[in-house]
Chains A and B, each alone.
Chain A
Amino acid sequence: MLDWRLLARSDRAYVRVAVDRAALPTTLVVDASASMAFPVATRAKWATATQVAIGLAAVAHADGDPTGLIVPREYEPTVQLTARTRRGVLAEFDRLLDDIDPDGAAPLAPAIAAARTPRIAVISDLLSDADAMLASARVHIARGGEMFLVHVVAPEELDPPRRTLLAVDPERPELHRLLDASARDRYLRSFAEWREHVAAAWRASGAAYTLATTEEPIASIVRRIVTGGL
């Protein structure tokens, strides 16, 4: 910007270069439903979600933005940490997330609605209440907020085992589906179409959508999200 005072004193025009940035409180909403504890042996989805959350919190904290955390739970009290900038917030995030064992099928839409920060980053597999989440996200964006969605997907979901198995939804144990060679193609097609639909819907709402597989390095995922605007 032009430095008018310096111009008046020296009759020379100077341009003042300064960082003019307001603090942007950020809330991380992390999905801890049973579907995130997949695969059972490694719980790679939950590990990816927590590491991405820590990474995003680190980025926000480094920018001086107050950062909060909400982890909805079905059988236990919701983990909620209001946005803050104090030192040690990352360690606190790490401790809280490390103590969580994903289970249940708690919806995330109420958590999105409850987050009062102008920026919300949701880390989820969208297998619980995707439509309600999208609706809450639209409300938040309409209010001028920023919305980031990190869609966590496991390779075992993208390419399930080729042997015949009885697929059981961990969030709805009563749901059994026979996955064999004949059903495999239709599964892959349906899942791909759904991912495309979800990505398009969230992007259309104004949110930044990022697909994260558990195979991808966390730094790469965080970098993609940050370069997208976080």
Chain B
Amino acid sequence: MSWLLPSALGIAAVAALATLALHFISRRRPIAEPLPTAHFVPPRAVHARVAARAFADPLLLAIRVLAIVLLGAAVAAPIARSSRGRVARVVVLDRSRAVASSQELRDSALAVARPGDLIVVADSAAAPLPKTSTLASLTTTSAAGSLSAALAGGIAAAASIGATADSVQIVLVSPLEQSELDAATAAVRATWPARIRVVPLRLAAPDTSTTRATLRADSNDALLAAASLDGLVAGGGSASPSRIRLIRTAPDSSDIAWARGPAHVLVQWPARAAPSDWGSRPPGTDSVSAVVAGGDAVVGTLRRPWRLPALQSGQRVVARWIDGEPAAIETQFGAGCVRQVAIAFDEHSDMALRAPFRRIFARLVAPCSGGERASRRAGTSSIDMLRGSATALASAPSARLDSTRSTRSPITPWLLAVGALLLIGEMALRRSPRRSTV
């Protein structure tokens, strides 16, 4: 037996003691007695009460104390626990692209996880490991990792099993890449009232293939110049094959097949003819002259002769026109993604050579799910922040988990009902004429 809100028991105990004390020092209304010479008594306020330090009205006291205790117990919400003393564990496995390898992830997971642990897998989002999956079949993904999402998923999972154990411990298995931290990480971490055991994984080696792109375009294409300026063009002597392919023409079957590869990014940025499913705009209506992607924007003579198809599930907007219309969208495609860019510009101008345009361009040819991977371990302070204070508890008492708010005590309604009946009885007893204690 444990309590969802043990403090209510303390409050009820204080109230019961106060009631007991009041019964010992109860104030009674003076007893009315006939006295023929009453008019010789000096007139005074007759509503004065008389303190009585004797133990008064034990039946009323018993009812009151019992009602208070029952109501306090009802608010405290007793719940039965079948696993008294048990410490449940939630193992959060970061399987983002920052992990060195799937084998690294599996080995660490098998070493850390114990039978009965709740496994949560996370990359850009977190979810419990499906029952159909096993740790032995775990693989990394091409998605960017998010420690905020991993922590939130782990804390939510811990809260969900809080009622089945006395305390819950979280183990975070992650490469702890700097880019996985964001502004929300500290706030999310602060919601967990105990330490977190952090098991670092090896970081994936910097993959230059993901930062260099293969362009299929005319030799005079302006984008080729922009990519060259930023060193994004993969040379023929590159040791690793490029995982980014920018095509300025319609994709062929080999492009589609290639895009399914792990972490492959097929950027479809037509120079002239757009795919058939893109809508066309009448010429001369390109009044919008700015594009925003992430935190960057480019303003200039930009045209939008096409309209991208409506967003569907699994797609995300990579860049938008200034009026909010998508200018580039990304679609998950197998283990990779296809990015469609509907931005036209005057290739005879120096637009592509300008720094703002090149920053937008870098975002448009970035790896799937946004951003480049820095492949740098988070700082010591950040890791300490994730671990939590050394003085904190190793595991969070289940009573302090938010899940307790949604946990219901089956006994509470009965306790409330009995407490209410006792209060009604107390009121009837108190109002009975033979009692004068108030």
- Chain A contact residues, CB within 8 Å of chain B: 34-36, 38, 40, 45, 125, 127, 154, 156-157, 160-161, 163-172, 175-180, 183, 186-187, 190-191, 194
7 extra A-B contacts, CB within 8 A, seeds A165-B31, A169-B36, A180-B48: A157-B36, A157-B37, A170-B36, A172-B39, A175-B39, A177-B42, A191-B40
Asked, given contacts A166-B33, A176-B32, whether A183 binds B42 with beta carbons under 8 Å apart, the answer is: yes
Chain B positions within 8 Å of A156 at CB level: 35
Q: A165 touching B32 by the CB < 8 A rule?
A: yes
Name the interface size band of chain B.
20 to 34
Report which of B29, B33, B45, B50 forms a contact with A168, defined as CB distance below 8 A: B33
B32 to chain A, nearest CB (A): 4
Q: B35 touching A160 by the CB < 8 A rule?
A: yes
Can you sample 9 A-B contacts with CB below 8 Å? Answer: A35-B36, A38-B34, A38-B36, A127-B36, A165-B31, A168-B32, A169-B39, A177-B39, A179-B38
Report which of A35, A38, A167 forms a contact with B41, defined as CB distance below 8 A: A167
In the complex the two chains form, what is the Cα distance from A218 to B45 in whole Å? 40
Tell me the nearest residue of chain B to A179, going by C-beta.
B41
In the complex the two chains form, what is the Cα distance from A40 to B42 in whole Å? 23
Asked, given contacts A177-B44, A183-B42, whether A164 binds B50 with beta carbons under 8 Å apart, the answer is: yes
Q: Which of B13-70 contact A (CB under 8 A)?
A: 29-46, 48, 50
B377 to chain A, nearest CB (A): 82
Chain B positions within 8 Å of A157 at CB level: 35-37
- Chain B contact residues, CB within 8 Å of chain A: 29-46, 48, 50
Report which of A36, A40, A160, A178 forms a contact with B46, defined as CB distance below 8 A: A178
Q: A166 touching B40 by the CB < 8 A rule?
A: no
Q: A178 touching B36 by the CB < 8 A rule?
A: no
Q: A169 touching B48 by the CB < 8 A rule?
A: no
Tell me the nearest residue of chain B to A189, going by C-beta.
B40
Tell me the nearest residue of chain A to B52, going by C-beta.
A164
Q: With a 10 A CB-CB cut-off, give which of A160, A163, A167, A191 has the most chain B CB atoms.
A: A167
Q: With a 10 A CB-CB cut-off, give which of A156, A165, A172 has the most chain B CB atoms.
A: A165
Tell me the nearest residue of chain B to A38, going by C-beta.
B36
Q: B31 touching A166 by the CB < 8 A rule?
A: yes
Tell me the nearest residue of chain B to A154, going by C-beta.
B36
Report which of A164, A191, A194 forms a contact with B30, defined as CB distance below 8 A: A164
Q: A187 touching B42 by the CB < 8 A rule?
A: yes
Chain A positions within 8 Å of B48 at CB level: 178, 180
In the complex the two chains form, what is the Cα distance from A25 to B33 in whole Å? 41
Chain B positions within 8 Å of A34 at CB level: 36
Chain A positions within 8 Å of B39 at CB level: 169, 172, 175, 177
